[in-house]
Chain A
Amino acid sequence: MVRLEPGELRPAEELERFIAGLAGDGAVVSFVGLARGADAAGEKVTGLFLDSYPGMTEKSLEAIAAAARERFAISAVQIVHRSGAVAPGAPIVFAAAAARHRRAAFEAADYLMDRLKTDAVFWKREQRLDGSAWIEPSEADRADRARWSD
């Protein structure tokens, strides 16, 4: 259901594997997040480093996946998240949801990403031309997360 990937993340393979494991679903929605080549201020980012806490990071991904399963009429969820150094343009996260009907799968994938952006246990450092900086969720990320509060 979830995996922390220290090596390369290959979204096409992940999607294929996810679909191969389904039985009787009519819809799959997947999302791929890529490392951006520029920071929030438009400055060039030459690389990203994702620090994680072995054990606790996986647990946070599992909690997000389980919450999606509980909240939406979906039959399967997959989250694969990179850790370590990620080059600009490279996949950083793959999230997918499968359901009998498409609406629940779309909503669940949206939910997974909003939760991942704020609640997943990661610390992100952007490498820029003039040094590096650790970043925190933006107000927009927090507002996206708040859409799902109950």
Chain B
Amino acid sequence: MKILLFGRLGETIGREIDFALPEGGCTVAALRAALARDHQGLAADKVRACIDHEIAPETALVLPGQEVAFLPPLSGG
């Protein structure tokens, strides 16, 4: 599964990172913890997870086929 990154995260880590999602999915918290091992910037509280264009809580389940992104704080328009 590709995880999308934007803003400062996209610039420092890359626009996309690959993640081997377990067959039954995993929580946002587990996904974040796994990715943060290599990319510490994703561990910050102010970096929000997003599933299919909706901000998702840490308890939300990430399932195969969904679009998942991590968003740094918005700058606004």
Contact = CB atoms under 8 A, between A and B. Distances in A.
Bound pair: A and B? Answer: yes
Interface of A: 33, 50-53, 55-56, 59, 81, 92-93, 116-125, 134-137, 141
B77 A116 contact: yes
A132 to B, nearest CB: 9
B71 interface: yes
Nearest to B73: A136
A123 B53 contact: no
Interface of B: 4, 6-8, 10-11, 50, 53, 69, 71-77
B47 to A, nearest CB: 12
A53 B71 contact: yes
Contacts of B7: 51, 123, 125, 134
A141 B73 CA distance: 14
A56 B6 CA distance: 12
Contacts of A123: 6-8, 10, 72, 74-75
8 contacts: A53-B6, A53-B53, A120-B74, A120-B76, A124-B75, A124-B76, A134-B7, A137-B73
